[in-house]
Chain A
Amino acid sequence: MTEIVYQLRNLAKEYAGRRVLDIDFLDIYRGEVLAIVGPSGSGKSTLLQLLNFLESPCQGTITFNGEVYHSARLPSLEVRRRVTTVFQRPLLLNRTVWQNVFYGLALRNSPEREQRARQALNQVGMLDAAHQGALSLSGGEGQRVSLARAIALQPQVLLLDEPTANLDPYNIRKIEDIIKDLNRDQQVTMVVVTHNIFQARRLAQRVAFLMEGKLIEVASNPAFFESPQDARTAAFVAGDMVY
C-alpha cells in the first residue's frame, strides 16, 4: 500500500475574515507528483503555504509523516526542513549563485554541502555561473538556481508554485525535465501548482482541481483530463471556464 505523506482534514485558512481555503479531505502519497490546478485566486498558493507550514491553518489538521499538526501545534524546525518551496519568482538573495545554493545547506550544517551544492547546480546546468551575482541572472536562469537551491536540500517534499510561469519554452522544458528526473530518480514527493493544464498533464500522476478555495475533484492523470466527473472540472479542462 502506498504510504501517505500528508493527510489534510477539514483544513481552512482565512485572511481578514475571508475564507480562502476550505479543504475537507486530501491525501498526498509518497513519491507522487500531484498537480494543483485552478483559476487565479482559488487558494492554490495558500495550500502550498500550509503544506510548507509557512502559514498555520485557522481550522483543521495536517498530518505529516504520521504526526498531526494544527493551529495550536506547529511542526518543529527540523520537521519544517523536510519540505521546501520553489516560488513563481526566483526570490534569490543578493549574493552569488553559489552562496544562494549553499544557503539552506549552511543553515542545516549539512554534511557534504559543497558536493551537494555543486551537484544541484550541475543538475540545473548553472555550475558555470556559480560565481556570478544571483540578481544579474535572467528570469529563466534565476528560476533554475532557485530550483537548485531547493533540490540541494534533498527535501522529502518539494512544493512548486507556478515554477515556469513567464518563462521561455527552453527554460520551461529544462525545469520540467529536472522535476521529472527528481521524481523518477529520487522519488521526491512533489506538489506543483500550475495554471497550465498541459503542464499538469506532462508532469503529474494525479491532478487536483481547486476552485474558490474548495477541492472540486482529484483524479489520476489522464482520467482527470479525459473523463472529469464534475462539470466545473470539465469546463476548466476544456478551457470554457470564465473567471
Chain B
Amino acid sequence: MITDFSEIITLSLRVSGIALFFSTLLGLPIGALIGLYRFPGRKLVVALLYTGMGFPPVVIGLLVYLLLSRSGPLGSLGLPWLPELFTPGAMIIAQTIISFPMVAGFTMAAILAIDPQLRQQIRSLGASEWQIAMTLLSEVRLGVIVSIVAGFGSIISEVGAVMLVGGNIAGRTRVMTTAIVLETRKGNFDLALALGAVLLGLTFLANLIMLRLQGKVLD
C-alpha cells in the first residue's frame, strides 16, 4: 500500500514536472516574443493564448487521445518517437498543452505590464535588441516564476485529460488525481483522502510560492 502510495505521488510529480519543463521551454520564449514585439497576426495569437488558458483540460485530453490513437492522424503514422496512448508520455503531452498557455500567457502579461519608456531607456543606455529582451525578462523575473508556478498548479490537480490519455493503469499511469477517483469509487476513502491531502498540500505549496512572489512584486 505504502509503495503504491509513493509510486503514485512520484509518477504524478514526474509527469507534471516533465510537462512543466516542456511548457516552460516553449511558453517562456513565445510569451516573451509576443510581449516584446509587434508582428502581423499578433492579436490573433494573443486571443488563441487566452483561449488556451481557459480551455477545458478534458477537451485537450480528448484531442490528444484522438491524435495519438492508433487510427488517429499521428498514431496511424507509427512514429517511433511518438508516445502511445495510456503511457506517461501521452500524459506529458496532454499536460504540456494544458500548461503551455499559462506559462506563455502570464509571461506575456508580465512583459506587457512594463513601462514602455523603460524599454527606450534601456535602448538609450546602449543595449542591443537581444540585451533589451534579456534585461526586460530579468525585470519581470518574478512574474516569469509566477507563470511557471501557475502552469504547475494547472496540471498537478488536473484529472480529466490524464484519465483519458493515461487510462489510470496501476503502476504505469496512475497519478494522484486518477487514483483519488478510483479509490473513492471503490469505497477506499482513507487512501483517497490521504492522496487528496498530499495533492492539496502540493497545490497549497505552489500557491504559497506564487503569493509570496506576487507579494514581493507588489511590495
Contacts and interface: CB of A to CB of B under 8 A. Distances in A.
Given A93-B135, A94-B139, A107-B131, A153 B125 contact: yes
A77 B128 contact: yes
B118 interface: yes
A84 B122 CA distance: 10
Interface string B98-134: 0000000000000000010110111111111001000
Given A91-B115, A91-B118, A107 B123 contact: no
Contacts of B115: 91
A104 interface: yes
A77 B126 CA distance: 7
A80 interface: yes
B126 A85 contact: no
Contact of B124 (A52, A89, A94, A108): A52
A65 B118 CA distance: 27
A187 interface: no
B131 A89 contact: no
A54 interface: yes
Nearest to B121: A91
Contacts of B139: 93-94
A87 B127 contact: no
Given A93-B135, A93-B139, A94-B139, A108 B118 contact: no
A107 B125 contact: yes
A149 B123 contact: no
Nearest to A84: B124
B123 A104 contact: no
A131 B125 CA distance: 21
A85 B115 CA distance: 16
Contacts of A87: 117, 120-121, 124
A108 B126 CA distance: 8
Contacts of A91: 115, 117-118, 121
Q: Decide if the interface of chain B is mainly helix, strand, loop or mixed.
A: helix
A94 B121 CA distance: 13
Nearest to B140: A94
A84 B128 contact: no
A180 interface: no
A103 interface: yes
Contacts of A52: 124
A153 B135 CA distance: 18
B121 to A, nearest CB: 4
Nearest to A146: B121
A94 B122 CA distance: 12
Contacts of B120: 49, 54, 85, 87
A174 B121 CA distance: 22
A81 interface: yes
B113 to A, nearest CB: 12
Nearest to B120: A54
Interface string A100-135: 000110011000000000000000000000000000
A84 B117 contact: no
Nearest to A80: B126
Contacts of A49: 120
A49 B125 CA distance: 13
A108 B125 CA distance: 10
A179 to B, nearest CB: 17
Contacts of B121: 85, 87, 91
Interface in A28-85: 49, 52, 54, 77, 80-81, 83-85
A83 B126 CA distance: 8
- 7 closest A-B pairs by CB: A81-B126, A104-B125, A91-B121, A85-B124, A91-B118, A107-B126, A54-B120
Given A80-B126, A103-B125, A153-B126, 15 more contacts: A77-B126, A83-B124, A84-B124, A84-B125, A85-B120, A91-B118, A91-B121, A93-B122, A93-B139, A94-B139, A104-B125, A107-B126, A107-B131, A150-B125, A159-B124
